[in-house]
A and B are shown apart, each in its own frame.
Chain A
């Protein structure tokens, strides 16, 4: 099924009118952006509809956009249909401060660990998640590192953790980092 018809079908099911939602069927990875409160309905339809049949949730990623109005974290769901061989990207935005999303664990079990990772690194809360604990970082790690304005602590339990500035400074100064053929 082509990306445009997938988007059309999903929008028709959710009752979204033309122009009331953002989508791009011509992008490298066609995507549709929907509101957080419609997320579960969309996911359930994408999985259950025999024409779409998105049977696997491939990946969940967070992207922080502090400069946007309003500041938001975008959560991106990459879906795959093994039976129909098509792909789709579902996007949704949560406010940076105190926002939360419903969990998709009830639709695809793969969401469990991906959502834990997004919570760990971005601080996005997933309502209804069965086990929302940090997964990669220690329980008392300060903050959520993949937020753009996160500050490195100097030490953590007396262990120095802040990386040297060298790499960053070179990159900010426009230098190549020494892996290309032109060094």
Chain B
């Protein structure tokens, strides 16, 4: 034990250890390189608008951001290492904790990957339930994105309206599986609980009452002049940039690229549903702005409502949700990579299996937020400090998924 001493006389509770401190490489910019009037500024790791524990290092000249570097890893738990010691089904709760406001999408992506590895499918009822929960989760996640985005910019009312509606979805999920945030609902080959009696009616009632509220919030926020002035001309991601950085989901469609896995590489029978892919039309500025990404999310909620309605209508009345759940998951040697359209973009898992082992050899999660954060420095260069907040919010990141 190093010798303890008090750094300040009369402050006995403060102790320093004579220990070598770690090398400080937590800064990407060095003070020596700064030009006159430039300054290095830390935004975060605790900052209300970072949607988690994110530190952004800014090189500023007055109010203008010359350069920005995000520093991540504050929530790193390395579930990939843990997964090397847990059986296949046991990894599902870990995946729930990646994107903790879109858990249904995470466990769905993982379950689909293991099913691909095993070469099994699911019954029609399970597929329908999975579509319903995934789309409800998309609505809940986009409501959170929309509400907090308004609040970041300074509009408080939409936040309350959005959270009221999100709460109702969480109530539905709670009734379904007992949990409000981390569901452990999608299992390999099935789902944990069948829909309780009366659930579909309550879900229908929610959809009917949700759409008018969404109309109202949309009117309040999306076409508000101040909101447009704040968001429609900043954080431009051109289509080329979006492809180069492999963006996905609403961020990609916000750049005007018509691509959605639900249509282009369908799973769970999405090809049988009638819905539109929302692509940014940019009425207020250049394509790929913060407003475009935000508005794609708003319109996607209407499409999700359409999908849930159709799925509820054609859900088979009978069917055991545990029918295809394997007693043991012991795949043959091989590997599988399966992507799915999670609320924040294309979430994929890469699993390598050893022959007939109950434990995966390697699990890798491809996080859409991690990828989106990789381009952050490109779109913040030359913007104002206040706009950094708007840009972070428009990418709709969740740090649990970036850090994994």
Partner of B375, one of A28, A78, A109, A172: A109
A41 within 8 Å of B (CB atoms)? no
Interface string of B178-204 (1 = CB under 8 A from A): 000000100100101000000000000
B116 within 8 Å of A (CB atoms)? yes
**CB pair A179 B358 closer than 8 Å:** no
Partner of B25, one of A57, A109, A133: A133
**CB pair B327 A78 closer than 8 Å:** no
**CB pair B78 A110 closer than 8 Å:** no
A71 to B80, CA, bound (A): 21
Residues of chain B within 8 A of A135, CB atoms compared: 72-73
A50 within 8 Å of B (CB atoms)? no
User: Could you say which interface size class chain B belongs to?
Assistant: 35 or more
B64 within 8 Å of A (CB atoms)? no
A55 within 8 Å of B (CB atoms)? yes
A45 within 8 Å of B (CB atoms)? no
**B interface residues with partner A (beta carbon < 8 Å):** 17, 19, 22-23, 25-26, 28, 72-73, 76, 78, 80-82, 84-87, 89-90, 92-93, 116-117, 184, 187, 190, 192, 243-246, 257, 259, 264-265, 322, 325, 327, 334-337, 339, 346, 348, 350, 352, 358-359, 361-362, 364, 366, 370-371, 373-375, 403-404
- Chain A to chain B: the 7 pairs with minimum beta-carbon distance, closest first: A177-B90, A113-B374, A110-B246, A59-B366, A140-B22, A56-B246, A61-B364
Could you show 20 A-B contacts with beta carbons less than 8 Å apart? A28-B334, A28-B336, A29-B336, A56-B244, A58-B346, A61-B366, A63-B362, A76-B350, A78-B350, A113-B370, A121-B80, A136-B72, A136-B73, A137-B73, A140-B22, A146-B81, A148-B84, A157-B19, A163-B82, A171-B86
**CB pair A139 B26 closer than 8 Å:** yes
**A interface residues with partner B (beta carbon < 8 Å):** 27-29, 55-59, 61, 63-64, 76, 78, 80, 82, 85, 89, 108-110, 112-113, 117, 121, 131, 133-140, 145-146, 148, 157-158, 163, 167-168, 171-172, 174, 176-182
A145 to B245, CA, bound (A): 26
**CB pair B364 A136 closer than 8 Å:** no
A-B contacts at CB below 8 angstroms, number = 134
Residues of chain A within 8 A of B117, CB atoms compared: 28
A174 to B22, CA, bound (A): 40
A117 to B335, CA, bound (A): 21
Residues of chain A within 8 A of B90, CB atoms compared: 167, 171, 176-179
Residues of chain B within 8 A of A177, CB atoms compared: 86-87, 89-90
Residues of chain A within 8 A of B19, CB atoms compared: 157
A-B contact sample (17 more), CB < 8 A, given A109-B375, A167-B90? A28-B334, A55-B243, A55-B244, A58-B246, A59-B348, A59-B350, A76-B350, A85-B264, A108-B246, A110-B374, A135-B72, A136-B78, A137-B76, A138-B73, A140-B22, A140-B23, A176-B90
Residues of chain B within 8 A of A137, CB atoms compared: 73, 76
**CB pair A167 B82 closer than 8 Å:** yes
Using known A-B contacts A109-B375, A167-B86, determine if residue A136 contacts B403 with beta carbons closer than 8 Å. yes
A76 to B366, CA, bound (A): 12
Q: How far is the CB of B334 from chain A (nearest CB, A)?
A: 7
A139 to B90, CA, bound (A): 31
Q: How far is the CB of B123 from chain A (nearest CB, A)?
A: 15
Using known A-B contacts A58-B346, A171-B358, determine if residue A182 contacts B82 with beta carbons closer than 8 Å. no
Partner of A180, one of B89, B245, B359: B89
Residues of chain A within 8 A of B246, CB atoms compared: 56-58, 80, 108, 110
Q: How far is the CB of B56 from chain A (nearest CB, A)?
A: 14
Residues of chain A within 8 A of B23, CB atoms compared: 139-140
**CB pair B89 A168 closer than 8 Å:** no
Residues of chain A within 8 A of B366, CB atoms compared: 58-59, 61, 78
Label chain A's interface by main secondary structure. loop
From B246, B265, B339, name the one whose CB has the most chain A CB atoms within 10 angstroms: B246
**CB pair B259 A82 closer than 8 Å:** yes
Residues of chain B within 8 A of A131, CB atoms compared: 28
**CB pair B81 A145 closer than 8 Å:** yes
**CB pair B336 A82 closer than 8 Å:** no
A27 to B334, CA, bound (A): 9
**CB pair B86 A56 closer than 8 Å:** no
Q: How far is the CB of A134 from chain B (nearest CB, A)?
A: 8
A182 to B90, CA, bound (A): 13
Residues of chain B within 8 A of A64, CB atoms compared: 362
**CB pair A174 B358 closer than 8 Å:** yes
Residues of chain A within 8 A of B80, CB atoms compared: 121, 146
**CB pair A181 B348 closer than 8 Å:** no
**CB pair A109 B244 closer than 8 Å:** yes
Using known A-B contacts A167-B82, A180-B325, determine if residue A113 contacts B259 with beta carbons closer than 8 Å. no
Residues of chain B within 8 A of A167, CB atoms compared: 82, 85-86, 90
**CB pair B339 A58 closer than 8 Å:** yes
Using known A-B contacts A113-B371, A136-B73, A171-B85, determine if residue A59 contacts B244 with beta carbons closer than 8 Å. no
**CB pair A179 B374 closer than 8 Å:** no
Q: How far is the CB of B342 from chain A (nearest CB, A)?
A: 14
Residues of chain B within 8 A of A121, CB atoms compared: 78, 80
**CB pair B85 A176 closer than 8 Å:** no
**CB pair B73 A181 closer than 8 Å:** no
A40 to B337, CA, bound (A): 23
Residues of chain B within 8 A of A178, CB atoms compared: 90
Residues of chain A within 8 A of B265, CB atoms compared: 85
